DNA sequence: CGAAACAGGACTGAAATGGTCCGATTTAGG
DNA sequence: CCTAAATCGGACCATTTCAGTCCTGTTTCG
């Protein structure tokens, strides 16, 4: 139920990498793909879609590449992942990409579903990418791993503590 | 990314219905299936699995059926849905049903993923079914819809309000 | 003994997913 | 002006997952 598509994962990777670029700098798909060790053609598609979603800017031609359209603090997890998730809603009755459910007005599960769905969406759209991936030091050649730091997720209070 | 499998949905339906049974009462699969308008054979499988998960008890023979093994307040959303979700984790590196990810120790996305995943799991396992489906009046023949009441989900504070 | 229920495996069709390939267009640099 | 390298974007394919059906047992009430 929670699994992200590979495209989403690649999108998050890309946005993370774009996040620690110097201002005005750009990075090309082949470079990105090699750094993260992921299929270049697929990443290319992902980037196109990110552009269409307005999250990144692109420049064509040799020495072209991508850059963030706005800082990671202004991109939510939902923004980043939304374009790649076919089934973003819990059930057909609360999903944008489905023609709904004919039982919707005769289903005692509908209201709870809708409520939970709305809550989850709210969570994911109040989580900025900057929070999610606490952007860390520059990329070492071939390996982008960085020392562990507690993310802001871990500091979010659980509902039962509220 | 959030979509539940049909089995999960059916499981939630079933547990909801079992929830407003009188003590000692049981209900059979064909009856349940007809009430909710869902395929009986599939629901049968779901019930078997719920039994294996220890959430319900069954009795065989004619006039057999299912009943809750414990009250809805003692069953979490994750309990109910877990057995039916192949891919419960956000990514391969944090999923029980996958052999992990070879890049796990060289991926700057791993730690954020793990953190978010843990947080989401915690959310789903602190949400009891009783909270989720604020169990409502008995089932009218052929239609189980009931008047709307605010669920406890809607009263959960958003992180940004905490 | 027979009808009705649970138990459970085998199987199928359809759809989503992850990935590849190829041709077209743009553009910096020699 | 020409070429290499990059973004575009459609077509295509293999694999897996999903939802659903079917069929054969076994239990148990009346
Ligand atoms: S209305 Fe009920 S059955 Fe239809 S999708 Fe929503 S929850 Fe599932
Ligand atoms: S380690 Fe990185 S690449 Fe591997 S699954 Fe986790 S997030 Fe995806």
Provide the 3-class DSSP secondary structure of residue A125. Answer: coil
- The CB of A101 under 6 Å from ligand 1? The reply is yes
Sequence-distant (6+) residues with CB within 8 A of A35 are: A17, A139, A142, A144
**Domain range summary for chain A, segments of one domain joined by +:** 6-87+128-136
- Residue pair B131/A112 in contact (Cβ under 8 Å)? The answer is no
Class of domain A6-87+128-136: mainly alpha
Predicted local distance difference test score (pLDDT) of residue A64: 93
Tell me which protein residue sits closest to nucleotide D4, measuring alpha carbon to C1'.
A62
B117 forms bridges with which residues in the sheet? none
Round to whole Å and give the CA distance between A140 and B66. 58
The answer to whether residue B19 scores a pLDDT higher than 50 is: yes
Strand ranges inside chain A, DSSP E: 56-59, 65-68
Question: How far does A116 lie from chain B, in Å, by closest CA?
Answer: 6
Q: What is the mean pLDDT of residues B77-84?
A: 97
Q: Which residue has the higher pLDDT, A15 or B118?
A: A15
**Percentage, residues of chain B above pLDDT 70:** 83
* Pairwise CB contact (< 8 Å): A126 & B5: no
Residue B95: count of CB within 10 angstroms of its CB? 19
Round to whole Å and give the CA distance between A45 and A29. 10
Helix (H) or strand (E) holding B47: helix B40-52
Q: Which nucleotides of C are covered by protein (CB under 7 A)?
A: 2-9, 16-22, 25-29
Predicted local distance difference test score (pLDDT) of residue A134: 76
Exposed, middle or buried: residue A6 (CB in 10 Å: 0-12, 13-18, 19+)? middle
User: Is residue B156 very low, low, confident or very high in pLDDT (cuts 50, 70, 90)?
Assistant: very low
Contacting residues of A for B13, CB less than 8 Å apart: 109
Round to whole Å and give the CA distance between B110 and B90. 10
Q: What is the mean pLDDT of residues B17-36?
A: 95
- Could you please report the per-residue DSSP string of B98-118? S---TTGGG-TTHHHHHHHHH
For residue range B144-155, list pLDDT tens digits in order.
444 444 444 443
Round to whole Å and give the CA distance between A120 and A69. 26
Which DSSP symbol is given to A28? -
**Percentage, residues of chain A above pLDDT 90:** 69
Predicted local distance difference test score (pLDDT) of residue B133: 85
**Percentage, residues of chain A above pLDDT 70:** 83
- State the residue for tokens 């993310």: A151
Predicted local distance difference test score (pLDDT) of residue A158: 35
Q: What is the mean pLDDT of residues A7-19?
A: 97
For residue range A79-90, list pLDDT tens digits in order.
999 999 999 999
Give this prediction's pTM: 0.85
For residue range B88-145, list pLDDT tens digits in order.
999 999 998 888 898 888 899 999 999 999 889 998 999 999 999 873 433 333 334 4
- The least confident of A12-21, A30-39, B119-128 is B119-128
Predicted local distance difference test score (pLDDT) of residue A139: 34
- The least confident of A121-125, A139-143, B57-61, B148-152 is A139-143
């Amino acid at each position: 139920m929670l699994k992200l598509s590979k495209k989403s994962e690649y999108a998050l990777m890309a946005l993370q990498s774009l996040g620690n670029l110097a201002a005005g700098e750009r990075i090309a798909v082949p470079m990105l793909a090699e750094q993260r060790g992921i299929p270049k053609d697929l990443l290319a598609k992902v980037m196109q879609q990110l552009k269409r979603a307005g999250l990144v800017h692109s420049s064509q031609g040799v020495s072209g590449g991508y850059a963030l359209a706005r800082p990671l603090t202004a991109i939510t997890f939902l923004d980043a992942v939304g374009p790649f998730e076919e089934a973003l809603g819990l059930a057909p009755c609360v999903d944008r990409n489905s023609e709904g459910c004919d039982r919707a007005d005769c289903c005692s599960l509908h209201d709870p579903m809708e409520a939970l769905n709305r809550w989850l969406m709210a969570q994911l759209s109040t989580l900025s990418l900057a929070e999610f991936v606490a952007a860390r030091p520059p990329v070492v050649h071939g390996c982008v791993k960085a020392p562990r730091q507690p993310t802001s997720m871990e500091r979010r209070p659980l509902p039962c503590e509220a």
